[in-house]
Structure 1
């Protein structure tokens, strides 16, 4: 893969796997491209909650709106230009506020492969 630039308009947003809220993700780089990381955009409608035990290391950059992330009883809130790091194995609750949020993310390794492996293991 060569050097590339991405915009939100490049992403094909789909409902985040394993949840039925209005939270959408769109990978732009992932296992299909041969690199070691996944890069994409996420869009959270207003007042959404997502609880997840992280199966990968995840870096989330808030581009618009505001998100709160709770883990082990501690809550941090991030707005535009701020970065949240969620380590593998951590159980988090991500909550969007009244304006929703647009994020960019980078995961290592690929979140989709880890999610699918976890789903196979729970059957």
Structure 2
């Protein structure tokens, strides 16, 4: 990565620009905190999950931090339930289903440019 990194900043959930994750519609709305546009290989952001049941195979290493609500992550190793202030570690290649009625999470992934690398 050859970009100059952006300066430090504070991003609050109420100021974040949430957009629907295209393939999941309003079940998942994302707001980026940092990523490749910031000159970093670390991607992070907020996600609002509403009546969500999303199947996915993780393409990067990921950490989720639940801010509000409850999230269930169904994996072949069992169901991981996380509530406020809980974290979930998901290594690259994990096949899963994210499930939540109404939750706000923070996600962090590495590498942020996983789609371009594929």
TM-score by length of 1: 0.83
**Alignment partner, residue 61 of structure 2:** 57
**Alignment partner, residue 4 of structure 1:** 9
The structure richer in strand per residue is: 2
Deviation, 1:21, is 4.7
Task: Give the superposed CA RMSD.
Answer: 1.7
Deviation, 1:116, is 5.8
**Alignment partner, residue 111 of structure 2:** 109
Query: Is there any run of 5+ residues in structure 1 with no aligned partner, and where?
Result: 119-123
Q: Deviations over 1:33-80 (max 9, x none)?
A: 1012011100011x3101100011111100000000011050010000
**Alignment partner, residue 72 of structure 2:** 68
Query: Is there any run of 5+ residues in structure 2 with no aligned partner, and where?
Result: 1-5
Matched, 1:29 2:34: yes
TM-score by length of 2: 0.86
| Number of corresponding residues | 113
> In 1, Cα distance between the equivalents of 2:59 and 2:99?
19
> In 1, Cα distance between the equivalents of 2:36 and 2:13?
20
Corresponding residue SS for 2:23: coil
- Structure 1: which 4+ aligned runs deviate by more than 3 Å? 115-118
